[in-house]
Amino acid sequence: MINPPERSPERDAAIEAMLAHVPFDGWTRKALRMGLRDANIPEDEADLLFPGGAVDMVETFCDLMDRRMEEAAASLTENRLSHRVKAVIRLRLDLCTPYREAIRRAMGVLAMPQGARAGLACTARTVDSIWFSAGDRSANFSWYTKRAILTAVYSATLLFWLRDHSDDHADTLAFLDRRLAGVGRIGGLRRRAEAMIGRLRPA
């Protein structure tokens, strides 16, 4: 697993405080200082808390959402792994809904050349967190294949969600269902192919 960004109660509190300003001012020092002012935190701590600027703020926000998702997923009751994965992604979207515009702006930050590496790291950590929250503890080769597949599914679902205005993101969940169904068909074909190859191998 890719190491998370620096974690501290002070950084978490600063991110939470600035979120109300991000839709208007972006992931900027201005939004951060305004948030710190709202939370009665000295504004001159802005540079000390996030020396990496906007990319550092966005990466910390993504990590905070991962931790919140893992905490909330502890109460899920679905039995099948595929159902738990879907439930965790839905939970993630529910948690993200109040911050839709902040997430849209965050993706803009991570799309810049200086944010590309952090963007890949954020996605990798979130996907790993989804699998972990769903109860997957595999450590074999499937660890990589499952995370590669879910990266494509989650990334496409998130982009769809950003444009979705249906009630309770119903259209996004239908989109997610279609993507997961496609993954299931691919997985079935792969298992049958592996079984056939196994039968053809010499004893």
Q: In this structure, what CATH number is given to the domain that contains residue 17?
A: 1.10.357.10
pLDDT number for residue 79: 84
142 in helix, strand or coil? helix
Task: Tell whether 151 is covered by a domain.
Answer: yes
Task: Say if CB 29 and CB 52 are below 8 A apart.
Answer: no
Helices (H), the chain: 9-18, 22-25, 29-38, 46-49, 53-73, 81-96, 100-111, 116-133, 142-162, 170-200
Does any domain span residue 2? no
Give the range of the structural domain holding residue 41, as residue numbers without chain letter.
9-200
Inform me whether the pLDDT recorded for 198 exceeds 60. Answer: no
100-154 confidence digits (pLDDT tens): 999 999 999 999 999 999 999 999 999 999 999 998 877 666 778 888 889 999 9
Give the model's pLDDT for residue 139. 66
- pLDDT digits over 36-79, tens only? 999 999 998 898 999 999 999 999 999 999 999 999 999 988 88
Residue 21: pLDDT band (50, 70, 90) is very high
Single-letter residue type at 42? P
User: Does residue 110 form part of some domain?
Assistant: yes
Residue 109 lies in a domain: yes
pLDDT exceeds 50 at position 200: no
Residue 1 maps to a domain: no
Give yes or no for residue 193 having a pLDDT over 80. no
For residue 201, name the pLDDT band (cuts at 50, 70, 90): very low
- Let me know if residue 4 belongs to a domain: no
> Over the stretch 81-97, which tens digit does the pLDDT of each residue have?
888 999 999 999 999 99
pLDDT of residue 156: 94
User: How many domains are there within the chain?
Assistant: 1
